[in-house]
């Protein structure tokens, strides 16, 4: 008989005998074991176990039956168990997520995706998509979750900041004016957006009024991006803008201090460029963005990305 059944039998018997729950006094244990609480007796008015056992032999029997269950499996006392129950509290997910992220960062380079076939990567990403997510409050305001689009076996993963209004409506990343500019920029370095890249964002849901993502949202959503990168295991990652760079690289530098440099994320080379939306708002960024894109092309050359693309096309 398991502990839950044992408690249920005990409480039922106490009820039938019209006796209070002398062992566990308050409702906490009944709640934990989903047992209907017997007739409520104020805690202070309840007799002690010793008094109770002196009153009726039937209670002695009950006491004998219950005594082993009163100790937990690892031999802790009832008081210890009560203290543990009392210490339970609702944990804020934002407290957990940084730990998840830290432990993830401590793991060795994600090599799992490298060994997966195209079909396995597609199935793993599908499963991830269909498992959905409502871990943060953006799930309530979004129209569609914007998971990502492109080739699941792409050599390049591109990471933006968060979906905009149009992306939220369509469920596809980078479909507005900034997305069209991105497509042209990729074409300029001989990358076909649909075939050679997988595009996603740090946040998968649209922040209302196009505001910047909040730190707690980024921390909560990051494991999803991490998993996507693990599955796809690209040869290189292109980070669009400051927020993507901060989330993936874990540093807080300005774009001007990060651009033109090669970083690594779990041994995968990464480069940071201005977000296409920034280029639309400030033409002064266009030249440095083009310089950075050429450097990214050189990186892809050195990684043999173009060679593998040509092989795929044959
Ligand atoms: S933003 Fe990320 S964490 Fe928040 S609900 Fe969407 S997918 Fe989940």
* Residue 103 falls inside a structural domain: no
User: Do 293 and 182 fall into the same domain?
Assistant: yes
Residue-level pLDDT at 12: 72
User: Do 161 and 28 fall into the same domain?
Assistant: no
Residue nearest to atom 6 of ligand 1 (CA): 205
Ligand 1 contact, 218 CB (< 6 A): no
| CATH code for position 166 | 3.40.470.10
User: Do 21 and 79 fall into the same domain?
Assistant: yes
* Residue 220 falls inside a structural domain: yes
Of 53, 87, 121, the residue at which a domain comes to its end is 87
CA of 118 to the centre of ligand 1 (A): 26
Q: Using alpha carbons, select from 272, 125, 6 the residue that is nearest to residue 23.
A: 6
Residue 52: domain span: 3-87
Q: How far apart are CA 276 and CA 201, in angstroms?
A: 13
Residue-level pLDDT at 286: 93
Q: How far apart are CA 172 and CA 164, in angstroms?
A: 10
Ligand 1 contact, 133 CB (< 6 A): yes
Interhelix angle 57-70/3-16, rounded to 10 degrees, is 160
Of 52, 87, 122, the residue at which a domain comes to its end is 87
Q: Per-residue pLDDT for the chain (314 aa), expressed as one digit of tens each?
A: 565 666 677 667 667 666 555 444 344 344 444 444 444 444 443 444 334 333 334 434 344 444 344 344 343 444 444 444 333 333 343 443 443 343 333 344 445 677 899 999 999 999 999 999 999 999 999 999 999 999 999 999 999 999 999 999 999 999 999 999 999 999 999 999 999 999 999 999 999 999 999 999 999 999 999 999 999 999 999 999 999 999 999 988 999 999 999 999 999 999 999 999 999 999 999 999 999 999 999 999 999 998 777 666 66
C-alpha triplet 87, 91, 94: angle, nearest 5°: 150
For a mutational test of ligand 1's pocket, the pick from 101, 139, 217, i.e. the residue with the most ligand atoms closer than 8 A to its C-beta, is 139
CA of 146 to the centre of ligand 1 (A): 9
User: Do 42 and 167 fall into the same domain?
Assistant: no
Residue-level pLDDT at 14: 62
* Residue 31 falls inside a structural domain: yes
Ligand 1 contact, 203 CB (< 6 A): yes
Structural domain tally of the chain? 2
User: Do 221 and 256 fall into the same domain?
Assistant: yes
User: Do 176 and 252 fall into the same domain?
Assistant: yes
User: Do 125 and 57 fall into the same domain?
Assistant: no
Q: With beta carbons less than 8 A apart as the criterion, state whether 116 and 62 touch.
A: no
Residue nearest to atom 3 of ligand 1 (CA): 221
Q: Using alpha carbons, select from 230, 226, 197, 227 the residue that is nearest to residue 113.
A: 230
Residue-level pLDDT at 114: 73
Q: How far apart are CA 84 and CA 70, in angstroms?
A: 14
The sign of the torsion formed by the CA atoms of 287, 293, 296, 302 equals negative
Residue-level pLDDT at 39: 46
The one-character DSSP state at 202 is: S
For a mutational test of ligand 1's pocket, the pick from 221, 222, 223, i.e. the residue with the most ligand atoms closer than 8 A to its C-beta, is 221
Length of the chain measured in residues? 314
* Residue 164 falls inside a structural domain: yes
Q: How far apart are CA 53 and CA 62, in angstroms?
A: 9
User: Do 75 and 115 fall into the same domain?
Assistant: no
């Amino acid at each position: 008989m398991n502990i839950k059944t044992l408690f249920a039998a005990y409480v039922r018997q106490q009820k039938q005998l019209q006796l209070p729950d002398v062992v566990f006094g308050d409702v906490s244990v009944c709640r934990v074991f989903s047992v209907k609480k017997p007739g409520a007796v104020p805690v202070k008015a309840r007799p002690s176990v010793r008094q109770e056992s002196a009153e009726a032999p039937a209670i002695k029997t009950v006491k004998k039956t219950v005594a082993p269950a009163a100790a937990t499996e690892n031999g802790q006392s009832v008081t210890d168990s009560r203290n543990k129950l009392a210490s339970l509290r609702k944990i804020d997910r934002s407290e957990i997520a940084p730990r998840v992220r830290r432990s993830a960062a401590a793991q060795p380079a994600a090599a799992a995706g490298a060994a997966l076939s195209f079909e396995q990567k597609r199935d793993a990403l599908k499963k991830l998509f269909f498992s959905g997510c409502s871990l943060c409050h953006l799930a309530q305001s979004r129209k569609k979750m914007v998971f990502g689009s492109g080739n699941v076996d792409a050599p390049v993963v591109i990471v933006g900041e968060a979906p905009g209004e149009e992306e939220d409506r369509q469920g596809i990343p980078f479909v507005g004016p900034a997305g069209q500019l991105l497509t042209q920029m990729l074409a300029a370095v001989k990358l076909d957006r649909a075939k050679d890249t997988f595009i996603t964002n740090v946040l998968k849901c649209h922040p209302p009024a196009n505001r910047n993502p909040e730190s707690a949202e980024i921390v909560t959503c990051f494991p999803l991006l991490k998993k996507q990168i693990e599955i796809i295991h690209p040869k290189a990652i292109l980070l669009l803008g400051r927020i993507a760079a901060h989330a993936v690289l874990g540093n807080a530098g300005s774009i001007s201090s990060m651009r033109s440099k090669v970083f690594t994320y779990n041994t995968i080379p990464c480069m940071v460029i201005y977000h296409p939306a920034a280029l639309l708002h400030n033409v002064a960024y266009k030249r440095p963005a083009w310089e950075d894109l050429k450097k990214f092309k050189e990186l892809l050359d050195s990684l043999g990305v173009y060679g593998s693309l040509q092989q795929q096309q044959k």
